[in-house]
Chain A
Amino acid sequence: MVTQLRRLNDIQQEVVRTARDFAEQELAPHVAEWDRRGHFPRAAVDALGELGFLGMLMPEEWGGSGLDTVTYLLALEEIAKVDPSLAVSMSVHNSLPSQMLLTYGTDELKERYLRSMTAGKMLAAFALSEADAGSDPAAMMCRAQLDGDRYVLNGAKAWVTNGGTADVIVAMARTSDDGARGISAFVIEPTWDGFSVGKEEKKMGLKSSNTTEIVFDDLEVPVANRLGEEGHGLKYALASLEHGRLGIAAQALGIAEACLTLSIDYARERHAFGQPIAEFQGLRFQLATLAAEVAAARALTYAAADKQDLGGSARKEVSMAKLLASQAAMKAAVNAVQVHGGYGYTRDYPVERYFRDAKVTQIYEGTSEIQQLVIASELFGD
């Protein structure tokens, strides 16, 4: 890694090696084809699960590895360097639904879902956004009406990663009209009557990640499948996003690192005007500055992870990390296409894929503007 700053401990070195070997041997040979076909590689997800990468942050009591956030992000980066699409599945699964079940789920729910999730036997999704409620989730319309011992859910959720492939989904729905305090969280199974997968998004990038709308039509959910208290769902979801955002920062760092490495390798090989283009100072300075920016974003991301591992909120640092890491990824990807010239604009080289994949890191799990809002609200103590 050209921008790695940390000295890794024994466990971290081993985890990184397994993640890197897996990515290079099992993902790298297929990733371009998966992208072209928009193919979601379920077998690769299962293999990730068998290796333990889908329960990294969960305690051993629930079948996880009980690793810290730093180690988790290191592994996620290795996957993202090769396959950003698979990395987002891994990030979503490990952070949002797993964290919510661990923190707010009853032992019964954990036994039924979390244990299978950490073992990789159930892939999980997280459904917060709606077509008209993205950055402003409190505007959600999807309803959950209490009826005896069950809730009846109606409405649709949008932009659900793993939406059409998940075995379990943590979804937020409105249980009262009390704005942000009228939202509850539910654990639902896609096999239940009243659940259907809606439109699959035709995205610019992350093409082998499955992003869909999901639709609830009189979907009956047992009261026992509500997470925590009624009306607290949005608060829970936003707290779990703190973990999710660091995952996206790591995904962005993986993309940035891959783009830097590809740029350096190509610049050494490609000759123009009688010498490798790596000899031109214009290109060298660009890559030097970029490497420094990626390294800075990395330092910030892992500092935020350290703070999170020590306990307490790292809300501001997480948003700062996500803001800068996604910016670095986009810049590194744009630059990598430029370094590759005409070839970079073709599918014969992987940089155009990273270019398409990078953009969404500035959009999902809180746009850059939302990260700025969060940072500012921490600065001004709102």
Chain B
Amino acid sequence: MKIAVCIKQVPEGDARLVIDADGISIADADLATEINESDQYALESGLRLAESQGGEVVVVCLGPDRAEEAIRRALAMGAGRAIHLNDPAFQGGDAAATARALAAAIERENVDLVLTGLQSDDAGWAQTGPILAARLGWPSATLIMEIEPEGDTIKVKRELEAGWFQWVRLPLPALLTIQSGISTVRYATLKGIMGAKKKEIAKVTPADIGLAPDEVGGAGRKTRTTRLYVPEKTTGAEIIEGDTATAVATLVEKLQKEAKVL
């Protein structure tokens, strides 16, 4: 089974984010980064499948030079080789532009299965996976919690709302977006880290995958970010008076009718 795993390099969870001068992106110089969390689970799932079914895991990552750190990490964890979509033209894309580039790279690989994370921890659109599947013309399933390969098909468990699950069968090739927590993500061992040095990272430009520079990245966007900001702090709290029973009743009513969270 040949599996492509798409990974994205994102700021670390506790990184101190600063909005760039353009007002629509995060300043990324000296930013501590990691592999997007659900992408780590996608990678772990891919490695487990390759181990149980035989086959290889190819990591696909779109990002600038610094994304090589995330790619090396994936190789250290056990991926066989990597494709790095690294060209100024790829930068600044939205889910549609990124999926288009990833699809063009993956089409050349004859893979049986593509795994992505459910969504990125920074932009969080949760669209790259599904759009990528559409671009490839393959069936896809999202929010995957369990994977059972069955030869030419694959059976997967999806997480629904309110503790419900759903089992779905898809023909291969297919694309799955993986939910965080599906398994325990392995650590890169020291041997893996040393061995990753010798693994291939193929650097790919738009021309290498048959795309024009204006089809990808900022030029290929379907959406436009107009403003990025930290929510402003506001004051205003309401003290609910009365004895416990009254206060609780009032609170529940307010949560239902005003805050609409219950």
Contact = CB atoms under 8 A, between A and B. Distances in A.
A117 to B, nearest CB: 15
A219 B84 CA distance: 60
A37 B31 CA distance: 40
Interface string B184-222: 000111110110110000000000000000000000000
Contact of A65 (B76, B188, B191): B191
A52 B189 CA distance: 6
Nearest to B194: A65
Interface string A94-117: 000000000000000000000000
Contacts of A180: none
Given A11-B194, A11-B197, A65-B194, A50 B73 contact: no
A18 interface: yes
A21 interface: yes
A21 B191 CA distance: 17
Interface string A1-25: 0000000001101110110011000
Interface in A53-97: 53, 56, 65-67
A26 to B, nearest CB: 9
A50 B189 contact: yes
A127 to B, nearest CB: 28
B69 interface: yes
B72 interface: yes
Contact of A53 (B190, B194, B196): B190
B189 A13 contact: no
A10 B73 CA distance: 10
Contacts of A22: 187
A370 interface: no
B73 A52 contact: no
A65 B188 CA distance: 13
A166 B4 CA distance: 44
Given A21-B187, A51-B189, A52-B189, 5 more contacts: A11-B193, A14-B73, A18-B187, A18-B189, A53-B190
Contacts of B73: 14, 17
A56 B187 contact: no
Nearest to B68: A10
Contacts of A66: 194
Interface of A: 10-11, 13-15, 17-18, 21-22, 50-53, 56, 65-67
B76 A14 contact: yes
B189 A15 contact: no
A17 B187 CA distance: 9
Contacts of B194: 11, 65-66
Contacts of A51: 187, 189-190
A66 B72 CA distance: 19
A13 B197 contact: no
B187 A14 contact: no
Contacts of B76: 14
Nearest to B34: A17
Given A11-B197, A13-B69, A14-B76, A65 B187 contact: no
A56 B194 CA distance: 11
16 contacts: A10-B72, A10-B197, A11-B194, A11-B197, A14-B196, A15-B190, A18-B188, A18-B189, A18-B190, A18-B193, A21-B187, A51-B187, A51-B190, A53-B190, A65-B191, A65-B194
A220 B190 CA distance: 37
A119 to B, nearest CB: 10
A53 B193 CA distance: 12
Contacts of B196: 14
A15 B193 contact: yes
Q: 7 smallest A-B Cβ distances: which pairs?
A: A52-B190, A65-B190, A14-B193, A51-B189, A18-B187, A52-B189, A18-B188
Nearest to B190: A52
Contacts of A52: 189-191
Nearest to A12: B193
